[in-house]
Amino acid sequence: MVIALDMDERFQHMVIIKVHSSLNGAIILYDCREFPTYNISPIYHNGLFYCLSMKGKLRVIEATREKINLKEIEGPQAPYNKHFNNFLLECDGNLLAVLESSFGKGVKVFKLDESTMTWMKVESLKNHMLFVGKACFSTVANIPGMENKIYFPRFYRQSVVFYSLDTNNYHTFKNDVVNFRHVKEHLNGCWIQPRWH
């Protein structure tokens, strides 16, 4: 089975296209003014699809051969205001939400407790690092000093920008603290995790 998420021409409905191996398909429309596809990073985690709205609501989509179930739960608290970037990704078997405020004011990370479908704040990623953008992933830091950080597709001068959960600030490996007025963002960039086997 293949699932595709898209928007209708008025950007008011999420279009879910479900295609079976027999090429029988279904098109389902859901009201999605809060879930525009340009601002979500959907993820498939433990048999369910998840996407986070701009207001922090989590949409959970369960797609089976027979039907599609959809439910929404309240998301984590936005960092500072309602204008923020959000990213969903899996880290160490857990679903994480990374919420970023506008203009470099801060980042918060939350973990979904799947038994209660509630969010818990994450203070440390321990030895993991997160790469967020159009495509997101996490990995264990094999190089000392790269752990407990969130990497963005942004550059300050010639260096990649990251957010450290140790200092609660944006940095590069060349500069202590990033001046956000001079940051360049690659809007269509994505991270690719190499597999060398």
Taking the domains of the chain in order of start, what are their residue ranges? Answer: 2-185
Q: How far apart are CA 52 and CA 39, in angstroms?
A: 9
pLDDT at 37 exceeding the cut of 70: no
pLDDT at 11 over 50: no
Name the more confident of 11 and 50: 50
pLDDT at 23: 45
CB 102 within 8 A of CB 158: no
Closest CA to 43 of 96, 99, 82, 85: 96
Q: Please compute the mean of the pLDDT values over residues 97-123 and round it to a whole number.
A: 88
Model confidence at 74: pLDDT above 60: yes
51-64 burial, b at 16+ Cβ within 10 Å, e below that, comes to bbbbebebbbbebe
For 50, list phi and psi in degrees, rounded to 5: -130, 145
Residue 183 confidence (pLDDT) above 60: yes
| CA distance readout (Å), 161 to 1, 51, 62, 132, 145 | 38, 25, 35, 11, 14
The neighbouring-strand residues paired with 111 are 96, 120
45 versus 13: the higher-pLDDT residue is: 45
Closest CA to 50 of 25, 33, 75: 75
158 by Cβ neighbours in 10 Å (0-12 / 13-18 / 19+) ranks as exposed
Quickly state the pLDDT bin for 39 (edges 50, 70, 90).
low
CA distances from 128 to 93, 157, 176 (A): 12, 26, 21
